[in-house]
Amino acid sequence: YVFMQAAVYGVLVYAMIGFEWTAAKFFWYLFFMFFTLLYFTFYGMMSVAITPNHHVASIVAAAFYALWNLFSGYIVPKPRIPVWWRWYYYICPVAWTLYGLVASQFGDIKEALEDGNFPGQTVEQYITDYFDFKHDFLGPVAGIIVAFTVLFAFIFAYSVKTFNFQKR
């Protein structure tokens, strides 16, 4: 189900955004969308499994979603995050999704920017300078996204097996 959801959503959104139609970029996009949907699904299942009821799970999940959005590197890019908070950037799964999506789609574009504050700078240089995203690091980023998915799935499976919140 998640694969079909990622495939349909991915094809539609990829076409509407107007990304460059190359096989490598398209499949990187599908890979990151699939594993992002998968780790969010497993995270939701995990939060329900480790809390006593769905009300507590929704509160815990909402708090983490807010933190993940704040530290994803979109609102405040990694180089501008204070050093004492940067550790949370590295354990934020949404930050790695953003890294993978931006680096895979824009990290290898050698064309110069024409407008804005960066005339003559290439898109690749801008992505590296502003976000600190490197196209060459896509392999490890993909591995980290898969690791988050496996971690959330394992914690869910372990929690379902071990925790029992029933009262007698």
Token output for 44: 């939701």
Mean pLDDT of the chain: 93
pLDDT tens-digit profile of 81-134?
999 999 999 999 999 999 999 999 999 999 888 876 777 889 999 999 999 999
Q: Positive or negative, the Cα torsion across 18, 24, 30, 34? A: negative
| Residue % of the chain over a pLDDT of 90 | 85
**pTM for this entry:** 0.91
* pLDDT surpassing 70 at residue 168: no
The set of residues, in sequence order, having a beta carbon less than 8 Å from that of 26 and lying 6+ positions away, is: 14, 19
Q: Where are the domains of the chain?
A: 2-161
> Contacts for 112-117 with beta carbons within 8 Å, 24 or more apart?
none
Q: Distance (Å, rounded) from C-alpha 104 to C-alpha 99?
A: 8
